[in-house]
Amino acid sequence: MTKIKYYYNEESCSYEPVKIPLKIKLFRITGYLFLAGIIASSSLFGYYKSNPTPKEDMLISNREKLNIQWGILKQEIMLINENIADLQLDDHELREILELSDLPAEIRDAGIGGDNQITNLKSQNLKFEEQIVNSYQKISKLKAQLKIEGLSLDTIAKYAAARDKFWAHIPAIQPVDHKDLRRFSPIYGMRLNPVLGKWMLHRGLDFMGERGVPIYATGDGVIQLAQMTYGGFGNLIIIDHGYGYQSRYAHLSRIQAFNVKKGDIVKRGQVIGYMGSTGRSAGIHLHYEVLKDKAHVNPIGFFQLELETEAYHKLLLLAKENTAPLD
């Protein structure tokens, strides 16, 4: 039951009921309704926040899964970056070994300019646009870096193959096995010719051993000559190694002198003939010469770097004997 409020009317000297104007009643009713609406909205908000709808549940679950996938993608990008860094380091070291100029940092970094696909992505007003565009840019850069490294390693491989071929043709080993070597004359240049008894230029090295000791090709090449000569070298083999290099093997054995013939392709370490004393010679030995661009060079500068420790020390000991050449 609604309580009636009274007020004292001095004119009538009596209590009369208070009459509330309609406008105030309407104002009060509106205020009550507004307050009720706020309370109801707050209650509903609290309810839905603590009790999401199935659709909201699905969206929350999808967002959590998406966050997990973003995390995995970031890890994968980080691992790929580390692998590329390792490749770049290997590339740099290989270029140093092969004496190739290094790739400039700006090329290795593979900076990428404008990308139409990135522009298209930005124009689509996608959800999570920043993450999507950022990840796409990182992946695009990784692809560019991998492509550059692939091309660089291809270049290195081709250059290395060419260098291998080049080194295989250099006359870079000793023509007589150190176990067969008895004496060695390191004298290159002017010396007293033991046969003619006068000072003459000696353009090679002399290796002394037993008759029939195998003689080895010191580098890959083609047999240019394998026959008896009459200019003092006796049975002579000449190998054209290419790249301007030529090697000569003189005074080979009279019996079974040649293991090759003109035009044969030979490999480094292949037996080409046998030690003897044909031609102008004072004893059984191999006279060995190397030419570069048709000019004689001291052979010892080539093969001594290829010798194992034992063979190198033996060569030094024999050289200290200062054995005179035999031709």
CA–chain centroid gap for 50, Å, is 58
Tokens of 40: 């109801």
| Shared-domain flag, residues 124 and 203 | no
Query: Which of 126-130, 187-191, 213-217 bottoms out in mean pLDDT, i.e. has the lowest?
Result: 126-130
| Shared-domain flag, residues 72 and 159 | yes
| Shared-domain flag, residues 206 and 267 | yes
| Shared-domain flag, residues 292 and 227 | yes
DSSP label at 299? Answer: T
Q: Which domain, by its residues, includes 147?
A: 63-169
Q: What is the pLDDT of residue 198?
A: 61
Do the domain assignments include residue 257?
yes
**Calpha distance 253→284 (Å, rounded):** 9
14 forms bridges with which residues in the sheet? 9
Do the domain assignments include residue 193?
yes
Residue 111: pLDDT band (50, 70, 90) is low
**Calpha distance 26→9 (Å, rounded):** 26
Query: Which of 61-70, 233-242, 281-290, 308-317 bottoms out in mean pLDDT, i.e. has the lowest?
Result: 308-317
| Shared-domain flag, residues 46 and 134 | no
Greatest extent of the chain over all pairs of C-alpha atoms, in Å:
170
| Shared-domain flag, residues 306 and 189 | yes
DSSP label at 124? Answer: T
Do the domain assignments include residue 57?
no
Question: Total domain count for the chain?
Answer: 3
114 forms bridges with which residues in the sheet? none
| Shared-domain flag, residues 14 and 43 | yes
Do the domain assignments include residue 1?
no
| Shared-domain flag, residues 254 and 216 | yes
Do the domain assignments include residue 55?
no
* pLDDT tens string 166-176: 888 989 888 99
Domain boundary, last residue among 113, 137, 169: 169
Tokens of 173: 């080993």
| Shared-domain flag, residues 205 and 283 | yes
| Shared-domain flag, residues 191 and 88 | no
Residue 48 predicted with pLDDT over 90: no
pLDDT (average), residues 162-188: 83
Do the domain assignments include residue 271?
yes
| Shared-domain flag, residues 121 and 190 | no
Neighbours of 268 (CB within 10 A): 19
DSSP alpha helices (H): ranges in the chain?
22-50, 54-97, 105-109, 116-123, 129-169, 300-303, 309-320
Residue 118 predicted with pLDDT over 60: no
Phi/psi-derived region of residue 202, left when phi > 0, alpha when psi is between -120 and 50, beta in every other case? beta
Q: What is the pLDDT of residue 87?
A: 79
Residue 269 belongs to domain with CATH number: 2.70.70.10
160 forms bridges with which residues in the sheet? none
| Shared-domain flag, residues 192 and 219 | yes
* pLDDT tens string 223-255: 999 999 987 899 999 999 999 999 999 999 988
Domain boundary, last residue among 116, 142, 169: 169
Do the domain assignments include residue 241?
yes
**Calpha distance 26→82 (Å, rounded):** 74
CA–chain centroid gap for 303, Å, is 30
**3-class secondary-structure state, position 285:** strand
Do the domain assignments include residue 326?
no
Residues in the chain: 327
Pairing type for strands 205-208 and 183-185 reads antiparallel
Residue 216 predicted with pLDDT over 70: yes
Domain boundary, last residue among 135, 169, 203: 169
